[in-house]
Amino acid sequence: MSEREKWAALREVRLYFQRPESPGFLVSETAEAGPLVPVFTSIPGLARFAGACSWASTTVEDLVELLPEGVRAFVDPLGEQPFLLDAGMLREAAEVHEEGDDRGRS
């Protein structure tokens, strides 16, 4: 499976995040990676990170649209395989996926 195919498959995954008091995301400023939003693939993962907290969830596809410009998502930061969600790569994968759908309909 190519990198683009992996990103395309990831679009529908549900992610959980700590909900701040006002609409938006809790953004952590990091010296090495810049601004990040910690997100999790499970509620127990979020609980290990933040403890008891208010939370919300969304799909990866929607998260990419909601994140402020220049902010990346840090998926499962305390998990066995944490990774940075690159919104640009995900948008590119979505375009490739849509192009493939269009070719299948022709």
Name beta bridge partners: 9.
none
Number of domains comprising the chain:
1
Q: Span 58-84, mean pLDDT?
A: 90
Angle of helix 87-105 versus helix 3-10 axis, rounded to 10: 90
Backbone angles phi, psi at 57, to 5 degrees: -140, 160
Tens digit of each residue's pLDDT (9 = 90 or more) over 8-65: 777 788 999 999 999 889 999 999 889 999 999 999 999 999 999 999 999 988 998 8
Q: Which domain CATH number covers 32? A: 3.40.1350.90
Reduce the DSSP state of residue 7 to 3 states and report it: helix
What separation in angstroms does the CA of 8 have from each of 1, 3, 89, 100? 11, 9, 9, 11
Residues of the domain holding 42 = 3-105
